[in-house]
Structure 1
Amino acid sequence: MKTTGRPYHHGSLPEKLVEHAVELLDEGGAEAVTVREVARRAGVSPAAPFRHFPDRAALMAAVAEAVMVDFGVVQLAAVRSAEALPFRALGTAFVHYALAHPHRFALLRTVLFAADRSPAIEEGHRAFTNAITDMIVAGQRRGELRRADPELIRIAAQALVYGLSQMFVDDYLDASRAETLINEVVDLFGLGVLASGRSVDA
C-alpha cells in the first residue's frame, strides 16, 4: 500500500492507520510497528493516531483484529473455491497463510493464546471455529468424513496445521519443500478422518 499524501477524512483515518500498521508488521514483525511510523506513513502528525487509539497496545489490538478477519476470509474463500474436499482445502490454506505472512501468524498466535482475549478476538475465534465444525458436520453428512466427534476432528486438524505452520515459520522445515510437505502431511492426516472408501483427492 502506498500513501498519496492527501488528507484523510476523519472517519477513514483509523482504518488507514491500521492498514499502515499491518504493512509494518509484514515488513518487520510486531516490534516494527510504532505509532510514530504509522502516523508518518499516513501523512498525519505523530499525535493524530492517539485520537483514535489511546496507546500502542490499542493500535496493536486493532491490527490483530484486522489480521484475524483477513485470515478468516482467506480460509473460507479457499473452502468455497475447493474443487475437491473442502476440509483438505482449509488445511492447506492455513499453512499457506502462515508461509505468506509469518509475522501475522506470530501475532495471531500471541493474541489467541493470551489469557485475556479481547471481545472482538474472542468473537472472531468463536465464529471461525464454529464455521470449521459446521463444515466437518456437513462433510460427515455427505459421507466424505467418517463419523466421529466433529469437535475432536477440528482440534486434531487445527493442531496438525498449526504445528506444521510453526515448523515452517521457525525454519525447522525447509520452506522450499513446503508445497510437497503440505500436501503429503495433510493427505496423511486425511486418511485418518476420511470415510471408508474415500480418497484424499476425491
Structure 2
Amino acid sequence: MTISNESPYREVRSVKENLLGPKTKLRAGAWNVRTMYETSKRAQITNEMKRHKIQILGISEARWTGSGKIKTNDRYTVIFSGQENIHLYGVAVIIDKENLNTLLEWEPISDRLIRARFNSKYCKLSVLQCYAPTNDADEDCKDDWYDQLQMAISKVPQHDMLLIMGDINAKVGSDNSNFERTMGKHGCGERNNNGDRLVEICANNNLS
C-alpha cells in the first residue's frame, strides 16, 4: 500500500459555483471498472456518466500508476491515485465539466483512497473514494486500511457533508441490532468481517 505524504492539491482559480444547494440535485455514483488501463475504457466510462447524468463518479480499480489530474477529450476531469510502478488497485474521481469549478482541493492518500472537497455556499462536500481490501485479505492489511480511512475521516472539516463511496468489499447483512442509527435492514445475507469493520467505523463517526 502506498501512502502519500504530499499536501492536498488546492485549486488556484476563483471558485464561485455551488455543488450543493437547497434547490439542486447531485447525482454521484461509484463503479469498480476492473481497469482503466485499456484503450477506450476511459471514453466508455464518461459515456456512461453522460447517459446516467452523473456529475461525480468514484472509480475503484483504476489501475493507473502514480497520481495526477487529467482532462479527457470530452472535457471530464479525472483525479487519480495509484501505485508508483505497478498497474494494481488504484482509485479515481471523475468530475463533469459543469461542476469542475466547484473543486476546492484533492489529495491522493494511497492506491486505495483519494479525497476531494467541493465548494458550496451552504455546505461544502468532502468525498472519500475507496477501494477496500477484500474480506479474505490479510488482517494487518485490513487494519492498516481502516486506520487510514479513520484518519481521513478525522481530517474532514466538521461542517462538511461527508460522502464515503466506492468498492468497500463488505457485506453488512440485514441484522441491524444495536446499530439502528447506522444501518437499515435491507442488506443481503449475513455480515462478514469487513461488514463488522464498516458498521463500526460508521457508528463511531455518526455515519449511516
TM-score in same-fold range (> 0.5): no
Q: Which has the larger radius of gyration?
A: 1
Higher-helix-fraction structure: 1
TM (norm. structure 1) is 0.29
Higher-strand-fraction structure: 2
